Amino acid sequence: MRVNFTVNGRPQEADDVWEGESLLYVLRERMGLPGSKNACEQGECGSCTVRLDGVPVCSCLVAAGQAQGREVVTVEGLAEFAKDRAEGCATGACGSAAGKGTTLDQAKRWQAGGTDSQTGEGTELAPIQQAFIDAGAVQCGFCTPGLLVAADEMLERNPNPSDADIREALSGNLCRCTGYEKIMDAVRLAAARQSEGV
């Protein structure tokens, strides 16, 4: 079947989608967006977290057909999404979709490269991404995309989270490297920068 939906602010079309296929599979294998990770396939690990009409969900548990006509934001579009939000324009809220968002091509080529991948310098990053780099919250990096999407959404809803709020918001994202402390640091840092307007 064919699925039409918006990914990172741009309309997309996926063809020959199997009816039992997950949104995650479509994003990774058909859209060429491997940022959302495939691990448990049962909603336990959160590494496939994306925004579906603004709401954080496990994309492995959304049937592709359920995304028809809906808006998806993946980690590849997070920088643009955060930028639009900072400018007071959530994805699709102002202007036509054509001029906004991240093109599929841009999204596919996205990397935390820039001039220095260690510091994120020279790359367009969402504040939460920069905070993860600055706090050293990334080790193997597999859980990072899901954590970024979940943490970014929490900071949108709750600009001044307590530690308990952060832990709860990230309770559906497993990390097997860091012990979570650096991740907590990163979210606190992003929240502090956000409130200072840095």
Partner 1 sequence: MDFLRPASWEEALAAKAEHPTAVPIAGGTDVMVEINFDHRRPEYLMDLNRIGDLSEWEVGEDSVRLGASVPYTRIMEDLSAELPGLALASHTVASPQIRNRGGVGGNLGTASPAGDAHPALLAAGAEVEAESVRGRRLIPIDEFYKGVKRNALEPDELIRAVHVKKADGPQQFSKVGTRNAMVIAVCAFGLALHPETRTVRTGIGSAAPTPVRAKTAEEFLNAALEEGGFWDSGKIITPSVAKQFAELCSGACNPIDDVRGTANYRRHAVGVMARRTLTWTWESYRGARNATEGAA
Residue 144 in contact with partner 1, rule: CB under 8 A: no
Judged by CB under 8 A, the chain residues 15 through 74 that form the site for partner 1 are 18-20, 22, 41-44, 46, 49, 55-58, 60-63, 65-66, 68
Nearest by Cα to 172 from 46, 41, 52 = 46
Which of 67, 89, 71 is CA-nearest to residue 80? 89
Determine if 150 is a binding residue for partner 1 (CB under 8 A).
yes
Return the closest-CA partner of residue 128 out of 179, 187, 47.
187
Rounded Cα gap, residues 129 and 80, in angstroms? 12
Among the residue ranges 106-114, 126-134, 136-144, 167-175, the one whose residues contact partner 1 (CB under 8 A): 167-175
Per-position b or e across 108-127, b if 16+ CB within 10 A of its CB: eebebeeeeeeebeebbbbb
Contact 72, 5 (CB under 8 A): yes
Nearer to partner 1, 18 or 111 (CB): 18
Which C-beta is closer to partner 1: that of 59 or that of 123?
A: 59
Choose between 134 and 165: whose C-beta lies nearer to partner 1.
165
- The least CB distance from residue 20 to partner 1, in Å, is 5
Q: State phi, psi for 41 to the nearest 5 degrees.
A: 55, 20
Q: Smallest distance from the beta carbon of 1 to partner 1, in angstroms?
A: 6
Count residues binding partner 1 (CB under 8 A): 28
Q: Which is nearer to partner 1, 1 or 86 (CB)?
A: 1
Q: Report the run of H or E that residue 81 belongs to, with start and end.
A: helix 78-86
CB of 41 vs partner 1, minimal distance in Å: 4
- The amino acid at residue 36 is S
Distance, CA of 184 to CA of 131 (rounded, Å): 10
Q: Measured from the CB of residue 127, what is the shortest distance to partner 1 in angstroms?
A: 20
H/E element holding 7?
Answer: strand 3-7
Task: Note the residues at the interface with partner 1 (CB under 8 A).
Answer: 1, 18-20, 22, 41-44, 46, 49, 55-58, 60-63, 65-66, 68, 150, 168-169, 171-173
